[in-house]
Amino acid sequence: MSATPFQHTTVLLTEAIDSLVHTPDGVYVDGTFGRGGHSRALLARLSPKGRLVAIDRDVQAIEAATSGETRVSDPRFSIHHTSFAQLRDTLAEQGITRIDGLLLDLGVSSPQIDDPERGFSFRFDGPLDMRMDTTRGESAAEFLARADERHITEVIRDYGEERFALQIAKALVARRESGNPVRTTGELSKLVAGAVKTREAGQDPATRTFQALRIFVNAELEELEQGLNAAMDLLAPGARLVVISFHSLEDRIVKTFIARESKSVIDRRAPFAPEKPHRLKSIARIKPGEAEVRANPRARSAIMRVAERTDVGVAAGGPSAGPLPSRPASPRGTGRGTSADEGSK
Ligand SMILES: C[S@@+](CC[C@H](N)C(=O)[O-])C[C@H]1O[C@@H](n2cnc3c(N)ncnc32)[C@H](O)[C@@H]1O
């Protein structure tokens, strides 16, 4: 199978790589490969000794990395079909216990949004799916076909910050009870447009509902928390954590996490010594410049946060990684691992 022809324009490309790479010989993780814009730039920055482990939960992203013209053919690179929430296990299976940097460019890629078959967008009519990993889990249509009014209201209100969540949920349940549940993106956006009474300037009335269902179906916020927690055990002292968010719910999690992990601590054995930042030191908060937003409107809501791992709480350990295995094992229960050179089809 070949990858979809849809293109993705990478957001904050140079800024992310500049922030991430501090040792060209290091082991780096791109937890959100997408179409590999960041991964390719990262490989260009690494020395022959460097190594890049990429992850994506979308089968089409894995196909883009391993087949056809978009294939990444580099012995320093491997890609794994799994979630970044499974980071620890995925890396352990590669013999990696320490990394020098982790990049998370959150959310969906343009190929996912622009393909009507994936059901992410109200701009195209297609099946109401919205799963990033189509090999598992429940689609948005399946959720709306079984959930009660209260649950649907909570999802749309909490993940979409939608004032008309109750009205939308009522309309969805009424339609379902009349024997005609929503099955397509077109049906959902029409139903939402009828239930949302006041319009936000420049925004489709379905924007918030689509965002909410996507976040819920993919457990995006829980995944993010798990990924950040897993990173703390893996980042070596001096390693960088770089996270690009596209909405306030994600950014709030990243910001709170970095703030909590950056609180200074007093060394009890040396109470008069200067306080040390805790496990992270916050380094930067970067937004795309005007030129980037003009060229790529999808960049307008991006916020990148950068933090550096301190040496607090790092167990003394050996090297971060052994040599590249000739055949990476499949991540447990999540799919497959593929080094670039064996992925050619
Ligand atoms: C914004 S795109 C990344 C684009 C990429 N940086 C590029 O330049 O091509 C986000 C990607 O992350 C993937 N993704 C989102 N959440 C994920 C998760 N929890 N685990 C693994 N991949 C995830 C999506 O499937 C999507 O392909």
Give 281-304 pLDDT, tens digit per residue.
Answer: 999 999 999 999 999 999 999 999
Residue 32 has pLDDT above 90, yes or no: yes
* The pLDDT value given to residue 264: 76
- Which atom of ligand 1 is nearest to 32's Cα? 12
Amino acid type, 142: E
Lowest mean pLDDT among 47-51, 67-71, 186-190: 67-71
pTM of the model: 0.89
* The pLDDT value given to residue 265: 67
Residue 141 has pLDDT above 80, yes or no: yes
High-pLDDT (> 70) share of the chain, %: 88
Residue 81 has pLDDT above 60, yes or no: yes
* The pLDDT value given to residue 341: 37
245 CB near ligand 1 (under 6 Å): no
Residue 11 has pLDDT above 90, yes or no: yes
Of 19, 30, 32, which is best to mutate to test ligand 1, by the most ligand atoms within 8 angstroms of its C-beta? 32
343 CB near ligand 1 (under 6 Å): no
